[in-house]
Amino acid sequence: MNARSILDHWQDSGALDQPGYRRALLALHLAPDAERWRRLAALLLLISGALCLLAGTVMVFASNWLTWPRLARVGVAEAGWLALLAWAFLARPDSDGRRWALFAVAAMSGIWLAVIGQTYQTGADAWQLFALWAALALPWALLADFAPLWGLWIVIASLALQLWLPHAPWRPALSSWGLFDEANLPLIGFWLAALALAERLQSAAAPWTARILPRLLGLGLALLLTIQASMVLAGAHQHVFGLSAASSNPVILILWLACVVAALYFYLQRRDLLLLALPLFSVWVAVLAWVIGSAHGDNWLYPVSILAIGGLGAIGWWLHARHQQWQAASQPALMEAAQ
């Protein structure tokens, strides 16, 4: 639990008045000052500039595609990539400018590949473009060790995986199981591996800005697994995907339950409230899907609505109780740090 949350809890409970709250913020260097506002403004301008530069590059090619000769298109794309690489090389090491420059270099690699493919009509499949883009972006992600760049790489690799699956050589042998059409096991496995690696490399005490990537991965996994499990429990999975879905239903439910139990255990230990809420809400949505699938007629509409509201309230109350408990357990450490 971070110090700011504990101070907010003390102020809300009346244990700390406003002057004391202000002095504690100053003593722990948590209060915003002119220097922090300048750094924030500089960072926002840097991020906006990098994104606008990438968007402007795409628009330059879109608006001049028919008027430029082939060599000019490829040359401009290569010149832009080299300019971004020079920016990353000249930027101060371990600075935000260098990290966002490497982000732009990785993103520009995909633009460069797309320009070459469209200019010379290489005939490559879409998955080959994204796979090569992921391969070219991986060294920059390793060099920068930057969460937004890793997020970009995961998106690119996920698209490459999804586009490659229809062409996988082993797909016909496994298509009778329906696990790659209905359950999307390769993507789930890739996201699970990425989440496990992100959690292993990051501390539970890391600030919330450093934990955005694992939380987004957890949200994506929760959505993907919850939708599949809810369709199975509601009896709609076979209706949507056909008779082949019947064989994959048990695997989907087992995988979903395993992920729910693992997330509940792990994030109770980590004391991550957001990622702890995801499996709880996933279970509740699946329970409601089973109730709706089992009920018949409009007479169940109001009881199910009341059940849904009551369950959400109970989950919220339990999470709030855990949050207060974790705050109380973190108070001695905060008092020691303040002294």
Band (pLDDT 50/70/90 cuts) for residue 241 is low
Identify the residue whose tokens are 């209706």.
Answer: 239
One-letter amino acid of 153: W
- Element of type H or E holding 54: helix 34-64
Helix (H, G, I), strand (E, B) or coil at 26: helix
Strands of 86-231 (E only): list them. none
Tell me the pTM.
0.79
Find out whether 28 and 338 touch, Cβ atoms under 8 Å: yes
pLDDT on residue 176: 47
Give dist(CA 176, CA 25) in Å, integer.
61
Angle between helices 273-294 and 249-270 (to 10 degrees): 150
pLDDT on residue 245: 53
Residue range 155-179, pLDDT digits in tens = 999 999 888 877 766 665 555 445 5
pLDDT on residue 204: 64
Nearest by Cα to 327 from 17, 1, 30, 15: 1
Reduced 3-state DSSP string for 186-220: HHHHHHHHHHHHHHHHCCCCCCHHHHHHHHHHHHH
Residue range 48-104, pLDDT digits in tens = 888 888 888 888 877 777 778 888 888 888 888 898 889 888 888 888 889 999 999
pLDDT on residue 154: 94
Give the tokens for residue 332.
């001695």
Mean pLDDT taken over the chain = 80
Looking at the chain, the number of H-run helices and the number of E-run strands are 14, 0
Find out whether 83 and 101 touch, Cβ atoms under 8 Å: no
**Per-residue pLDDT for 325 more than 50?**
yes
Least confident of 114-128, 214-228, 270-284, 300-314: 114-128
Band (pLDDT 50/70/90 cuts) for residue 139 is very high
Band (pLDDT 50/70/90 cuts) for residue 251 is confident
